[in-house]
Amino acid sequence: MGYEVPLQVKNLSFAYDKQDVLHQVEGDFYQGTFYGIAGPNGSGKSTWLKLMAGLNNCPHNRIHIFGQDIHKMPRMTLAKKISFVPQMFNMKYAFTVEEVIMMGRYPYTNRMTNITQEDYDKVEKTLFETNLMSLRNRHVNELSGGELQRVVIARAIAQDTDIILLDEPISHLDVHYQFEIIALLKEICRNQNKIVISVLHDLNITMNHCDHIFLMKEGRIIKQGEPLKILTEENIDEVYNLKVNMLINHDKKWITW
Ligand SMILES: Nc1ncnc2c1ncn2[C@@H]1O[C@H](COP(=O)(O)OP(=O)(O)OP(=O)(O)O)[C@@H](O)[C@H]1O
């Protein structure tokens, strides 16, 4: 089936039981582009991301991935197209870091019964890229929150999908790893031509690193576009009810309050 937009969301509304949470959300997503979704708590960011990940029961004909309705895609086909890094995760079992990253290869290994050299190579490369070599044999239930977060991001990278969705991926990371993970996501996005979509609360990171952002409020997209045009003092006041100042210094922009 033909398509013009690799990932397309059209007129998407969604409710949990009787509570309407998303209202006519729309977005076109292209490869090689890093997208941010920002907005206040409870504005529907995670719900939208979960619908795009196929985790919530998506209405028919609202999300198309390479021309196919996500609603009709078999789970394993979807798992080769989209990886998802959730906001909350707990790892109760004593798997090693390396084993958890290998779990990202699940869609390619006939449910882990046929792990090939390609899968081992991919895991090795991911361990290196995400700076997790020194932790590879550690048990994930004994890691710090930040270390675990890097492992879950690494698992998504090893899954090698066209689309990577992340829900606040840097919230537990110190500034060094925040920088490293954002730089890695941008590099993967550019060099491997992926669509990366991340919910981000840090407006300065969103401003300086995303190519395109969606600003949400109460289940609606209020504005979308290039960060510098969207994260204006007026728009931030409208969406967050907060007076901020914008400082622009050469190629860096800072929002302060
Ligand atoms: N599983 C659920 N069942 C019922 N209501 C839910 C569920 N998940 C979220 N909600 C509600 O839907 C609304 C949007 O939640 P959502 O998690 O999508 O917002 P968010 O913008 O990601 O918020 P945050 O920034 O706090 O993570 C909220 O009112 C929330 O209480």
Q: Which ligand 1 atom minimizes the distance to the CA of 48? A: 18
User: How large is the average pLDDT for residues 235-252?
Assistant: 88
**Cβ atoms of residues 115 and 124 within 8 Å:** no
Distance CA 214, CA 9 (A): 13
Residue 98 predicted with pLDDT over 70:
yes
User: How large is the average pLDDT for residues 238-252?
Assistant: 87
Q: Is the dihedral of CA 202, 207, 211, 212 positive or negative?
A: positive
> For atom 16 of ligand 1, which residue has the closest CA?
44
* Average pLDDT along the chain: 93
- This model of the complex carries an ipTM of 0.98
What is the 44 CA–ligand 1 centroid distance (Å)?
Answer: 6
**Residue 164: phi, psi to the nearest 5?**
-120, 125
Angle of helix 145-158 relative to helix 117-129, nearest 10 degrees?
140
Q: Which ligand 1 atom minimizes the distance to the CA of 19? A: 5
Residue 1 predicted with pLDDT over 60:
no
Q: What is the pLDDT of residues 145-164, one digit of tens each?
A: 889 999 999 999 999 999 99
CA dihedral 221, 222, 225, 229 (to 10 degrees): -160
> For atom 13 of ligand 1, which residue has the closest CA?
42
What is the 145 CA–ligand 1 centroid distance (Å)?
Answer: 22
What is residue 151's three-state secondary structure? helix
Q: Which residue has the higher pLDDT, 22 or 144?
A: 22
Q: How many CA atoms lie within 13 A of 23 on its CB side?
A: 10
Residue 90 predicted with pLDDT over 70:
yes
Q: Which ligand 1 atom minimizes the distance to the CA of 201? A: 25
Ligand 1 neighbours by CB, cut-off 6 Å: 16, 19, 21, 39, 41-47
**Residue 95: phi, psi to the nearest 5?**
-75, 155
- Report the amino acid identity of residue 136: R
Q: Which ligand 1 atom minimizes the distance to the CA of 46? A: 22
Nearest to 199 by CA among 49, 4, 6, 95: 49
What is the 93 CA–ligand 1 centroid distance (Å)?
Answer: 27
Residue 128 predicted with pLDDT over 80:
yes
Q: What is the pLDDT of residues 32-42, one digit of tens each?
A: 999 999 999 99
> For atom 3 of ligand 1, which residue has the closest CA?
16
The residue whose two tokens read 């829900």 is 167
> For atom 4 of ligand 1, which residue has the closest CA?
16
pLDDT value at residue 87 = 85
**Residue 139: pLDDT band with limits 50, 70, 90:** very high
pLDDT value at residue 123 = 97
CATH topology of domain 7-256: Rossmann fold (3.40.50)
Residue ranges of domains in the chain: 7-256
DSSP string, 13-77: EEEETTEEEEEEEEEEE-TTEEEEEE-STTSSHHHHHHHHTT-S-PPTTSEEETTEEGGGS-HHH
What is the 22 CA–ligand 1 centroid distance (Å)?
Answer: 10
Least confidently predicted of 46-55, 74-83, 176-185, 247-256 = 247-256
What is residue 211's three-state secondary structure? coil
Residue 2 predicted with pLDDT over 70:
no
What is the 88 CA–ligand 1 centroid distance (Å)?
Answer: 13
User: How large is the average pLDDT for residues 208-233?
Assistant: 96
Q: Which ligand 1 atom minimizes the distance to the CA of 17? A: 4
Pocket test for ligand 1, best of 14, 19, 201, 202 (most atoms within 8 A of CB): 19
Residues of the chain with pLDDT > 70: what percent?
99
**Residue 210: pLDDT band with limits 50, 70, 90:** very high
